[in-house]
Structures are given as structure tokens and as C-alpha cells.
Amino acid sequence: MDLHAARLAVSPETLSLLATLPPYDGDNALTLAQQLRDRGADPDVVAAALTQSRLRAAAHTKFGEFASGMVFSQEGLEQATRLVVAAHHGQRYRAAGAHAIADVTCGLGADAMAFASLGLGVVAFERDEGTALLADHNLRHWDDARVVHADSMVTLAQGDIDVEAVFADPARRNAQGRRHDPRDYSPPLDAVLALRARWPQLGVKVGPAIAHDDVPPEAEAQWVSVDGDVVEAGLWMGALAHHHGHSALVLRGGEAHVLDGFPVPGEVGEVGEYLLEPDGAVIRAGLVGPLSHTLGARLVDPHIAYLAADAPIASPFAASFRILESLPYSEKRLASALATRGIGHAEIKKRGVDVDPAKLRRTLKLKGDASATVILTRIGKSRIAFIAERV
């Protein structure tokens, strides 16, 4: 982050003005800015305060009420760990008996905040000076958390730090967008994994698209979803690992559910009266097969992540749908079937078929008062449309 902008964001003048602002309203932001300047407020301070007001509003989904006391950069907010997920990170370190942790790429300090709130000592490294200033503000409430503006990989290599465990969240974005190859992380994943030689208790936050072949064989790889959205994957080593193989952490409605196992295929069978859609974290972890065994369900196709069942199944790891009708997929057939049922509101899901749901919705020209879920998929070489209702 630009150092001047960071200094301005944490200045007493900006923070004081920020505390007086109403909830952020993008439609009225320019008018409010002009009113503040007309009252004599410094234009740079006004711009900084309104920027922070906008970012705090956006950060509410990740940080809840904590966002109202934090400062942000746009890039830092995009990569910051959701607080509910960071809390699970911290619980791993506490359960492993670690008391002092090095957060080697702290960013805005989200994970360091979670560690510190659990009573763990944190040395939070940030290479970018502007971002380090923001993190220092965000961690101001915890005496055992300190921010160090330095290249953590250099500092750790010199051995000048006394910690028991390490956490890393390598940067996965640049000007061209997301970087999915771990070799393109900053620092690269291999460099972070090399820290195990001195600190076996190592945790690394990685992108959820990480290939299974890039997971160290001795690590627990856990994919995490929050209310249906897959938000990250984590590699946990040493005493931080709770399971062998892969796991899926599903956070939904304030509750946490964990499925663990090894990626093995499930049995394929006939479509029944019910269709199950595994959570994205389960799919990313390669645990659709183990989930099918656990639920007593079966795959509709060996390459498609939908499960079939003959009775309703309640599981935090899958959404359940009762099939009302199935038909070979074509736009004309589907439109006719939906019209016959008077379905004017349809949730459209697809897997294994090249269909644009938004374009299809326009083509279907839905009319009626009824609602349904349309599930488009492939079974063998056939494209199938299911008209279903959520259970």
C-alpha cells in the first residue's frame, strides 16, 4: 500500500473524522465529501476517511463488528482471512501447545488478531511498510502482538526470532489477478514449506484451487467453506494436523462441521428420488466418494459431483433436492416442462454441461407463481435436466 496513504489512514485527524461519519452510502458519498470540505475539513483527510468508511462497510462480511475499529486497503481486504476462519486457525495452534507464533505474511493482521485473542503471542511480519502501519493499528489492543516491518523469510533464515510455530499466508494476487500456481505465490510455497526444517508446526493458507499433487504428503490439507462459499485451503503440518489426508471444514449458520478422509472414488448407481449436491469444500477436497459412503448414497456419474439417494438425507456436507421430473436436456423441452408446472422462479444449477445459466434463464422466459430448482448435468454421454425442490 502507498505509504503516504497508509499514514493518512491511521492519522488522528482521519480516525477522528471517520468516527463521526454515518454508515457508508455510495450514492451520497460525493455529496457528503463536499459538505465536509465546505465545513473546513482537509480534502485529503476527507478522502481518506470516506475510503476507510467504504472499506469498513465491505469488510463487515469478513470481520463483523470488528471491522468498525479496523483500517484497510482494498488489496489487503481482498486477501484477508475471514475472522471466523482465522479463529479456527488459532485454535489449531492453541491445541498444539504453541504459545508464540510467527505470522510471516500478516497483511492487515486478521490471523494475528485471532491468534492474539486466544492468548497466543504473535510476531507479525509485513514486508510492505504501508500495510504494516495498518496492521499495527489493527493489532493495537493486544500487548502480546507486535508488527515487524521486515522480510520475514530473511529474518527467519538469520534465526533471530524465538517462536514455536509459524503461519504463512503467501500473496496470491498481482496486477494480472489471482495466481493459482504455488510457485508464483509471494513467497513461493516451496520456500515457505522449507521452514519445516526448523519449525515443524507450520500452517500455510493457500488458494482453494491448489492441485492435490502440490500438497505435501505429510500434511493435512483442509478446504474451507463459509455459508456455501469455498474461501480457502490450508496446509497443516506437525502437531497442527488433526487428520491424515484431506478434510473439509464447513462453516454454516454459526456451526462448524468437519469431514475427513482420502480421495477415493464412490460407487455409481441409478438416480433415485433425491439428488444431493456436496458442499464445495467437500468437492475441492476430493471427498465426494467418502461422503457417498458415509451417507449411503451413490454417484450419478463417476466424474460428476452429484449424489443420488432413495430417501431424504440431512447433512451439513450436502444440499438435498427432491426430484420432481427428469428429462433429456434441451432448451425447448425444459421450457415446456417448466411452463406446464407454472414455474416462474427457478434456481439454475449446472455441472458437467456447457450452459450459461443467465443466458438460459432469458431463453426460458419463465412465467408463473411456482418455484423450483433446475439442475443440469451429464450422466454418461447424456445431458439431463432435473426439475427439483430443495428439501
- Domain presence at residue 359: yes
Same domain, 14 and 104: no
- Domain presence at residue 269: no
Same domain, 305 and 381: yes
- Domain presence at residue 136: yes
Same domain, 287 and 174: no
How many other CB atoms are there within 10 angstroms of residue 200's CB atom?
A: 15
- Domain presence at residue 265: no
List the domain range (segments joined by +) for residue 25: 3-59
Q: Report the alpha-carbon distance of residue 290 to residue 288 in Å, rounded.
A: 6
- Domain presence at residue 309: yes
Same domain, 199 and 240: yes
Residue 172 near residue 178, CB atoms below 8 Å: yes
Same domain, 121 and 86: yes
Same domain, 327 and 378: yes
Residue 350 near residue 331, CB atoms below 8 Å: no
Alpha helices, H only, the chain: 3-9, 12-20, 29-38, 43-63, 74-79, 83-95, 110-117, 129-138, 152-158, 189-193, 280-284, 288-295, 331-340, 357-364
Same domain, 295 and 207: no
Same domain, 125 and 81: yes
The count of structural domains within the chain is 3
User: Domain ends where: 207, 223, 258?
Assistant: 258
- Domain presence at residue 68: no
pLDDT at 321: 97
pLDDT at 165: 97
Same domain, 290 and 205: no
Residue 88 near residue 205, CB atoms below 8 Å: no
User: Domain ends where: 14, 33, 59?
Assistant: 59
Same domain, 94 and 231: yes
Same domain, 12 and 106: no
Widest Cα–Cα separation across the chain: 73
- Domain presence at residue 71: no
Could you report the average pLDDT of every consecutive run of 10 residues in the chain (391 residues)?
95 97 95 96 97 98 95 95 97 96 96 97 96 98 95 81 93 71 90 94 96 94 97 97 94 94 93 96 97 96 96 96 97 96 96 94 94 96 96 92
Query: What cell was used for 348?
Result: 439454475
Same domain, 93 and 47: no
CATH number at residue 128: 3.40.50.150
Residue 275 near residue 321, CB atoms below 8 Å: yes
Q: Report the alpha-carbon distance of residue 382 to residue 233 in Å, rounded.
A: 33
User: Domain ends where: 233, 258, 283?
Assistant: 258
- Domain presence at residue 69: no
